[in-house]
Structure 1
Amino acid sequence: MLPKLLAITILGLSSLAQAAKAPPPPPEIVFRHAMTGEAAAALVEFVGRFNAEGKSGKVVLQHVGMAGDPHQLPHLALLEDEEYQKFFDSHPRMLPLYKVMAGAKVKFDAAALFPVLADVVDDNKGRIQALPLALSVPVLYYNKDTFRKAKLDPAKPPLTWWELQTAAGKVFDVDRRCPFTSSNPAWVLLENAATQHGEPIVSPEQGGKPALALNNLVQVKHVALLASWHKSFYFRTFGAGREADEKFMSGECSMLTSDSSLYLQLLRRKPFDFGVAALPHYDDVRGAAPGRLLPDGAALWVLAGKKKPEYAVVASFIAFMMRPDVQQQWVRSTGYLPMTSVAVSGLAAEGAPPELLRKAVERLSDRRFASAAKPKGVFGMSRVRAILHEELEAVWANLKPAKEALDTAVRRGNPVLQPMPTDGTVTR
């Protein structure tokens, strides 16, 4: 009996020793996102590939709609500025990406990023705060079939807002439903009107306090013109986000200003013969630079307050997403702006016009097109956009003139603008 008991004891002690020596499970990190369709499918594929390599840890993909408690913060979040409340029900702190990569001792070639995209996610010292993974620029889409019916040359899209007004009038004569519309109007129609014409979005006041500058002459002139179109039924609005995209793709609206990533959806769906052109500008404003646009969209942010081994997994995943083969497939699957030159071939393989790609690389590489209007030292622009949308709605409803609405937006928006934290973290 005693020998048997000793044997069982020895086996038990041996098992305990082996268990004590067993390595801890690899760290898991949560990646929260709000992507849908092909972009969501691409994320699933890339996360699966990263996990299959199994080198440093595991990434758990979590759609924001499936997050039981938004206050349980993830490690990574692919989100737009205005999505913070939806993602977290708060405004948590973020850890700048350059710190994450340096702390994990993982190589990150920030210089490889196109300067125009880096400008969106860097700080005042040029240090990268987030990965510009899902950015776009505003462009003009138009229905070539409707242009032909209206006796407009489909090879000559409107280049200025005055030409678009003429085109909208001719389209209205043949199809009164919706000559022109816009998605994301605060970004497309106001912020980019500022950048194209050399106006700031935020200006410092005396003492360095940030102040909105979205009620300058160009913006007032532009909103007043759009209001006149709205009254004439040349221009219709459908919401603060991308609601207008579907109105264009269904054929209801003949012209649309929206983000460039929609191009790939149109290319695949081919709902009709469509064209894409540069965002119109005002040729009667001195110093206008039509190509000086403000990219926007979802960036990949790292949340603060996590453990060092978890940040090591984050850094490895960021390095994975920067690999040339991953970038090429991401661009090919989503239509978002390529982060580096090696990703451009992904769009070429999808059939995008070579001339369009050449111009895209030229523009994204040219530091002159990096917008000086992007506010870097402040946060709160997501709430400012919500205010802008409310004031624009008052203009479209003929409740306020353009000047009063923009002055009100600036007065309401200034208190929500705050300087960035000084503890080395970032908030939006």
Structure 2
Amino acid sequence: MKKALLCFIITVFTFSVLAACGNNESSSNTSSGSNDKKVEITFMHSHGGESEKLIKNLVNGFNKSQDKYVAKPVFVQGSYEGMVEKLQSLVVTKKLPDVVTNGLVYTKYLNSNMPIVPAQKFIDEENTDMSDFFPNMLDLGKSEDGKQNALPFAVSTPVVYYNKDLFKKAGLDPENPPKTIDEVREAAKKLTTGGQQGIFYDYTMTGAWIFQAMVETMGGQMVSEDGKSVGFDQEPSVKALQHWTDLVNKDKSMPKVEAAQALQSFTSGKLGMYITTTASLGSIRSSSKFNLGVAPFPTDGEHERKVPAGGNNLFIMKSTSEREKGAWELVKYLTSPESTASVAKTVGYMATRKSAVEKEELLGGYLKENPLAAVTYTQTSNMVPWNNYSGKSGTRIYKVIQDNLEAALSNQKTPEEAMKDAANEGNKLLD
């Protein structure tokens, strides 16, 4: 009897354990839902605010478009510098994301210091036709040997935003904005009255972006052709900084404030012109209550305009072959004509595909109805790469530039002294 009871207890216990194991497995399947058999892809990006909603919509679109992969967006604060810092920490723990948005100012850094999978690998395997991309935008993601390491995602150029109402009040033609740097200065003087000022160049923008536009439009170079020395102590750099210091300290037409404060002044109608990225068009247009104008970046009247391509590209990080393949599928989706048109309409970045601009149902009709958004495309042929400095210490040069710009604008140094100091410090950091 006791033996029979013992057998019964053992049998019941065994079935209970098996049932419990079965229930755990069932619970796991239920909680993960239909994503069980899908390969998870992490997409790390630095697009915040309204742009983050766009990223989520694009990723949702990708997830619905196929049943093999599920992508998850992860926002990183701190703009392009924040992304680089995040990747530097993750590469140590070997927990890198599968796809990242990388600021074009750090393309060379990622090429040299991160375990990337070149897009060229997949392009060659699939014999992908790349002819629909704007060629100079494709160039932004190439290595020094011409290999396509990344694809362009969001591209921008600097433009002049201006208040047409204030132009008219100051006796300026709102339909004929200034075309040269000298004309910008004269217009800024006329726009400066009482608590109102004339102009703000967004000189604090990451990677000395606006400063590069000024220097190269004036015929200079941020770095020598061989990449072994910087060009800050050359005449064009000094002239560019002199223009800014004159606006701030002599004309009093440009406020010495943070960019966010200057933007607030502009959108509230207390600043006549604001020079920054075309990617700000969406937010500026929605927050401005006046007649807004947009014009190309000014020239110096002698040299051809040269505007660095801002924005970011998409890199794939090394992982497993299955995840890398999924990452490539995500990159293709994010850079499709439909996706790039959505980025352009929603934020203000430039579309990276020619068909997106040409097709009426994508951007063709939109640009006709929104001429302000079309201005940046008039500068496509003037686009040059955002300057990258080589070596592990090269990224520190941007802070050297910024510190010396600040010193000159604060009257602590002359433009000549600031640029000479920046050149001396910068050359020490070049490898």
Structure 1 residue 39 displacement after superposition: 1.5
> Identity of paired residues, percent?
20
Question: Residue 248 and residue 357 in structure 1: after superposition, are their counterparts in 2 closer, same or farther (change >3 A)?
Answer: closer
Cα distance, 1:93 vs. partner? 0.7
Contact 2:294 2:372 (C-alpha < 8 Å) held by counterparts: no
Mapping 1:128-277, distance limit 5 Å: 128-172=148-192, 174-185=193-204, 187-204=208-225, 210-232=228-250, 233-239=252-258, 244-277=262-295
Name the TM-score, length of structure 2 as normaliser.
0.78
Contact 1:79-1:298 at 8 Å conserved across structures: yes
Q: Distance in 2 between matches of 1:170 and 1:155?
A: 16
Give the match for residue 423 of structure 1.
Answer: none
Unaligned runs of 5+ in 1: 419-428
Structure (1/2) with the larger helix percentage: 2
Q: Distance in 2 between matches of 1:377 and 1:57?
A: 36
Q: Distance in 1 between matches of 2:113 and 2:144?
A: 21
| Residue matched to 1:301 | 315
Cα distance, 1:300 vs. partner?
A: 2.1
Q: Are the aligned partners of 1:31 and 1:74 in contact in 2 as well (CA < 8 Å)?
A: yes
43, 46, 52: which one aligns with 1:40? 52
- Contact 1:320-1:326 at 8 Å conserved across structures: yes
Q: Does 1:389 align with 2:399?
A: no
User: 1:337 is matched with which residue?
Assistant: 350
- Cα distance in 2 for residues equivalent to 1:361 and 1:148: 26
Q: Which string of whole-angstrom CA distances, capped at 9 and with x for unpartnered residues, describes residues 265-303 of structure 1? A: 3333442112111111211x4xx112x311112222223
Tell me, in whole angstroms, the C-alpha distance in 1 between the residues paired with 2:277 and 2:137: 15
- Conserved in 2, the CA contact under 8 Å of 1:136 and 1:295? yes
Kindly state the Cα deviation for residue 136 of structure 1 after the two structures are TM-superposed. 0.8
| Alpha-carbon distance change, 409 to 35 in structure 1, aligned in 2, over 3 angstroms | same
C-alpha distance 361-135 of structure 1, shift in aligned 2 (>3 A): closer
RMSD: 3.8
Distance 1:121 1:378, change over 3 A: farther
Distance 2:339 2:295 in 1: 28
C-alpha distance in structure 2 between counterparts of 1:98 and 1:119, whole Å: 13
| Cα gap change, 1:244 to 1:188, in 2 (>3 Å) | farther
Query: Who is 1:289 aligned against?
Result: 304
**1:28 corresponds to 2:40:** yes
TM-score under structure 1 length normalisation: 0.79
Measure, in 2, the Cα distance between the counterparts of 1:361 and 1:190: 21
Q: 2:161 corresponds to which letter in structure 1?
A: Y
Distance change in 2, residues 1:97/1:380 (3 Å): farther
Structure index of larger Rg? 2
The 1:247/1:31 distance shift into structure 2, 3 A limit, reads farther
In the TM superposition, residue 201 of structure 1 has moved relative to its aligned partner by 1.8
Of 39-48 and 181-190, more deviation after overlay is shown by 181-190
Q: Does 1:123 align with 2:143?
A: yes
Measured against aligned partners, the alpha-carbon deviations of 1:52-95 in whole angstroms (never above 9, x if no partner) come to 234332211111149999534322222426789xxx9xx95152
State the Cα deviation string for residues 165-216 of structure 1 (Å, max 9, x = none): 11111111x3443311122446454211233234222115xxx562111332
Q: Are residue 80 (structure 1) and residue 98 (structure 2) matched?
A: no
Match of 2:29 in 1: none
The verdict on how the C-alpha distance between 1:335 and 1:289 changes in structure 2, with shifts beyond 3 A counting, is same
Aligned-partner residue type, residue 265 of structure 2: K
CA distance in 1 between counterparts of 2:63 and 2:384 reads: 37
Greater Cα shift, 187-196 or 134-143: 187-196
- What is the CA distance between 1:133 and its match in structure 2? 1.3
CA distance in 2, matches of 1:386, 1:343: 37
Query: Is 1:95 aligned to 2:107, yes or no?
Result: no
Which residue of structure 2 aligns with residue 399 of structure 1? Answer: 412
Q: Distance in 1 between matches of 2:139 and 2:256?
A: 30
The residue type paired with residue 60 of structure 2 is: G
- Higher relative contact order structure (alpha carbons within 8 Å, sequence separation ≥ 6): 1
